[in-house]
């Protein structure tokens, strides 16, 4: 296993981690602040990717598609909040699961009806369609580097909003103790709306950024949603910092695991057996990680909630 | 958000035992008539559909023991179905055709797995419990997909039906039908006996107030663990039946989507009610079949239907049934 290969895998892991962070950031706030289990959050990511497909096709400019997709993703999130989710905040978790599951089924199918069941691809925008030479002889696509940088910039901006602004203070307070915030005269309903729209937009942003890298297809958000839940459980519900650390951790463990586990097993057993078992063990790693975290620190690595 | 969220339709089982019993008997009678009807209309499609619905109903009823009565939201219940199905598939592939041998292995494997992961999962509660059961479910899912000699991701075809004490009872569709219906009725009766027993009272009390139950000297963890094992074993039994019926097993039996479907069935029907899980599972499978025969895009109808039920039908379909019957 050469160092360059590991370097590439680290970059791929960061790329997955950044996408996961953008999805998990909204999810962890919605979950931490409102106690709302939103299974349909992965759908927002899918909608973002399809918005990118549609707007890129219509405008011919990735930048324009990017700038138009964000407000549209926000509007779609707010429409869903208005129609369905706001009626569920006071309900138990299982009603939320049932309703948001229904939303997933509906929107996945709607997207399939409009865009067809086949996977679509978005071309990498021309100004980023070139490669970095990381080390002599090793090229890495510029778009993927841009994706990582964009994700890190968003993370920095989020950190600023959450820790340095009044809204961020309210969100943090809400994640720690929503009843107290409400009792102090903050309009929690409005706060929820802000958090929700914000989260939907971030997931949409993840979709737009991921569209040129992953294939765009109905249901693309479902598996990532489960991984995003793994991220917020590891990071601690309601904690943006936790989501960031855990997203990068999960991204790296998952990506590096896929090559390292198989290679490691080859040392212990014959190659064909290692090739069979390796991927299965690698797929399990993030869940093993989550189980360990839940076992030793049930509240996650960076818990936002006050422990009573 | 409290860890012990009150499930909807959390009325104690059987405030009107007679009515619930009548509904259950009517459903079972209707299911018993299906093989006769299929001779005139529907044929193999109808019996196969009914078998599928009944197997899901068995799993859903076992899940309701955890979800509704125990307050334990297991998001990995389909793993037990997969364990039962794979125990059957692997033993038949290895030339063991006798159900009297397959069944103990399937049940033993499921019970062992339930004890092992249950002991870990019971240390957590609320959303952590949901996620840790999901994690173990995913581990089973990926482990089954790595069984190269048993088909890996593509699954395993069962080339022969198992024997039952040397007879070929399960080789005919009628034999399978009667067996599945029998297991369904037995599961329904067993779970209600369990829920109504002293054990069930402790379990339900622990859902509402675990601290108080513990203070009364009961080991909440032990009661929950036993419930977890019972539910896991029943689900594995359904997995065995699935393998026999479908003559094919694959890791997707244990996917998280399947666990999600099962939760939806129970909540849809009405948790911790006498017939909620039964009605929910039958409704889910039948409506899926009916809508998908009308239009390819049946989820456009089914999705909003779930949303409306979640928003307006508190207590699920069983709750609706109670309301139709009039106020208490």
- Residue B1 within any structural domain of the chain: no
- Please tell me whether the interface predicted TM-score (ipTM) of this complex is above 0.90: no
Whether the pLDDT of residue A304 is over 70: the answer is no
Average pLDDT over residues A52-64: 92
pLDDT at B328 over 50: no
Summarised one tens digit per residue, pLDDT across range B94-145 is 999 999 999 999 999 999 999 999 988 888 888 788 888 988 998 999 899 8
Give B130's contacts in chain A (Cβ within 8 Å). Answer: 93
Structure tokens at A1: 């296993």
Residues near A24 by beta carbon (within 8 Å), at least 6 away in sequence: A228, A231, A232, A235, A243, A246, A247
Instruction: With beta carbons less than 8 A apart as the criterion, state whether A264 and A254 touch.
Output: no
Q: Assess contact for A223 and B124: CB atoms under 8 A.
A: no
* Polymer length of chain A: 308
Mean pLDDT, rounded, for A7-22: 93
Residue B102 placed within a domain: yes
**Please, which pLDDT band fits residue B326 given cuts at 50, 70 and 90?**
low
| Domain span holding position B317 | 17-324
Residues A255-281: what's their mean pLDDT? 83
Alpha-carbon gap, residue A176 to A308, rounded angstroms: 11
Query: Does residue B150 lie within any of the structural domains?
Result: yes
Interval A129-146: pLDDT, tens: 888 877 777 788 899 999
pLDDT surpassing 80 at residue B8 = no
Smallest Cβ distance to A291: which of B132, B146, B302?
Answer: B132
- Structural domains of chain A sorted by starting position, each given as residue range(s) with its CATH number in brackets: 8-296 (1.10.3470)
Per-residue pLDDT at B304 exceeds 90: yes
The confidence band for A74, taking pLDDT boundaries of 50, 70 and 90, is very high
Structure tokens at B225: 């663990």
Residue B132 lies in a domain: yes
When divided into structural domains, chain B yields a total of 1
Q: What is the mean pLDDT of residues B42-63?
A: 94
Contacts of A35 in chain B (CB under 8 A): 1
Interface list for B 201-260 with A (CB within 8 A): 256-257, 260
Residue B242 lies in a domain: yes
Q: Is the pLDDT of residue A235 over 70?
A: yes
Interface of A with B in 144-173 (CB under 8 A): none
pLDDT confidence of B11, banded at 50, 70, 90? Answer: very low
Interface test with B, best of A88, A117, A232, A280 (most B CBs within 10 A): A280
Q: Say yes or no for a CB contact (<8 Å) between B135 and A288.
A: yes
Contacts of B305 in chain A (CB under 8 A): 102
Residue B135's domain is classified under what CATH number?
1.10.3470
Nearest chain A residue (CA) to B149 = A276
pLDDT at B17: 64
In sequence order, the 6+-apart residues with CB closer than 8 A to the CB of B123 are: A295, A298
At B252, list the tokens: 């997707």
A181 in reach of chain B (CB within 8 A): no
Phi-psi region of A118 (alpha: psi -120 to 50; beta: other; left: phi over 0): beta
Tell whether B120 lies on the interface with A, counting CB pairs under 8 A: yes
What is the per-residue DSSP string for B246-281? Answer: HSEE-GGGG-HHHHHHHHHHHHHH-TTSSSHHHHHH
Could B7 and A280 be called an inter-chain contact, meaning their C-beta atoms sit closer than 8 Å?
A: no
Number of C-beta neighbours around residue B207 at 10 A = 22
Cα A104 to Cα A101: distance, rounded to the nearest angstrom: 5
Question: Shortest CB distance from A229 goes to which of B67, B131, B142?
Answer: B131
Query: Residue B50 falls within a domain, yes or no?
Result: yes
CA distance B284 to B268: 8
Q: Give the mean pLDDT of chain A.
A: 88
Per the structure block, which two tokens stand in for A277?
Answer: 């078992």
Averaged confidence pLDDT in chain B: 89
Q: How many helices (H) does chain A have, and how many strands (E)? A: 11, 2
pLDDT tens column, A142-158: 999 999 999 999 999 99
Partner A contacted by B174 (CB < 8 A):
no
Here the tokens at position A158 are 């989020």
Q: In this predicted structure, what is the pLDDT of residue A35?
A: 81
Give A271 or A241, the one with higher predicted confidence: A241
- Asked whether residue B8 is domain-assigned, the answer is no
| String of DSSP letters for A211-254 | TTTS-B-TTHHHHHHHHHHHHHHHH-TT-HHHHHHHHHHHHHHH
**Coil vs helix vs strand at B232:** helix
Residue B116 has what pLDDT?
A: 92
With pLDDT > 90 as the criterion, what percentage of chain A qualifies?
47
CB atoms within 10 A of CB B296: 13
For CA atoms A136, A140, A142, A145, the dihedral sign is negative
* Residue B90 domain-assigned (yes or no): yes
CA-nearest residue to B314 within chain A is: A95
Q: Which residues of B215-245 are buried (b: 16+ CB within 10 A; e: fewer)?
A: eeebebeebbbbbbbbbbbbbbbbbbbbbbb
Contact in structure between A130 and A142 (CB atoms under 8 Å): yes
Distance between CA A220 and CA A227 in Å, rounded? 12
């Amino acid at each position: 296993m050469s160092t360059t290969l590991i370097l590439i895998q680290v970059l791929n892991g960061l790329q997955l981690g950044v996408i996961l962070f953008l999805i998990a950031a909204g999810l962890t706030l919605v979950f931490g602040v409102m106690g709302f289990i939103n299974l349909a959050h992965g759908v927002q990511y899918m909608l973002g990717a399809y918005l990118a497909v549609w707007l890129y096709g219509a405008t011919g400019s990735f930048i324009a598609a990017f700038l138009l997709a964000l407000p549209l993703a926000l509007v779609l999130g707010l429409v869903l909040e208005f129609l369905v989710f706001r009626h569920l905040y006071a309900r138990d978790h299982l009603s939320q699961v049932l309703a948001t599951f229904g939303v997933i089924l509906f929107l996945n199918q709607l997207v399939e009806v409009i865009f067809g069941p086949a996977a679509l691809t978005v071309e990498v925008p021309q100004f980023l369609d070139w490669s970095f030479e990381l080390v002599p002889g090793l090229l890495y696509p510029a778009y993927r580097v841009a994706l990582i940088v964009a994700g890190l910039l968003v993370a920095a901006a989020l950190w600023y909003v959450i820790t340095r602004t009044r809204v961020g203070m309210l969100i943090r307070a809400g994640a720690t103790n929503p009843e107290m915030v409400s009792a102090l005269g903050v309009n929690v309903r409005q706060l929820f709306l802000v958090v929700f729209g914000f989260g939907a937009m971030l997931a949409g942003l993840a979709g737009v950024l991921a569209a040129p890298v992953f294939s765009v297809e109905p249901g693309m958000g479902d598996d990532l949603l489960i991984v995003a839940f793994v991220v917020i459980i590891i990071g601690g519900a309601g904690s943006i910092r936790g989501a960031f650390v855990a997203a990068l951790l999960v991204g790296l463990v998952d990506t590096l695991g896929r090559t390292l586990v198989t290679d490691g097993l080859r040392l212990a057993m014959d190659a064909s057996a290692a090739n069979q078992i390796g991927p299965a063990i690698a797929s399990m790693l993030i869940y093993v990680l989550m189980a360990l975290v839940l076992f030793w620190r049930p509240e996650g690595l960076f818990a936002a909630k006050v422990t009573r | 958000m409290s860890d012990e969220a009150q499930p909807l339709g959390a009325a104690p089982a059987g405030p009107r035992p007679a009515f619930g019993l009548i509904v259950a008997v009517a459903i079972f009678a209707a299911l018993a008539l299906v093989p006769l009807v299929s001779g005139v209309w529907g044929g193999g499609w109808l019996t196969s559909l009914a078998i599928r619905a009944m197997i899901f109903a068995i799993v859903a009823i076992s899940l309701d023991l955890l979800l509704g009565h125990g307050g334990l939201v297991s998001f990995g219940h389909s793993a037990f179905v997969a364990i039962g199905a794979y125990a059957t598939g692997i033993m038949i592939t290895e030339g063991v055709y006798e159900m009297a041998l397959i069944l103990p292995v399937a049940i033993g494997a499921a019970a062992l797995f339930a004890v092992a992961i249950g002991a870990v999962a019971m240390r957590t509660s609320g959303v952590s419990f949901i996620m840790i059961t999901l994690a173990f479910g995913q581990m089973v899912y990926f482990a089954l997909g790595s069984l190269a000699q048993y088909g890996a991701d593509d699954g395993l075809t069962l080339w022969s039906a198992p024997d039952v004490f040397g007879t070929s009872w399960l080789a005919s569709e009628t034999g399978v039908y009667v067996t599945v219906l029998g297991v369904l009725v037995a599961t329904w009766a067993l779970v209600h006996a369990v829920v109504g027993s002293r054990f069930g009272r402790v379990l339900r009390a622990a859902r509402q107030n675990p601290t108080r139950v513990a203070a009364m000297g009961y080991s909440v963890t032990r009661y929950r663990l036993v419930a977890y094992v019972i539910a896991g074993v029943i689900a594995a039994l359904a997995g065995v039946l699935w393998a026999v019926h479908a003559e094919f097993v694959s890791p997707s039996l244990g996917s998280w989507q399947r666990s999600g479907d099962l939760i939806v069935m129970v909540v849809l029907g009405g948790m911790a009610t006498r017939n909620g899980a039964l009605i929910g599972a039958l409704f889910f499978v039948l409506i899926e079949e009916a809508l998908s025969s009308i239009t390819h895009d049946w989820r456009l109808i089914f999705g909003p239907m779930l949303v409306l039920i979640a928003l307006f039908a508190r207590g699920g379909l069983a709750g609706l049934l109670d309301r139709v019957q009039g106020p208490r």
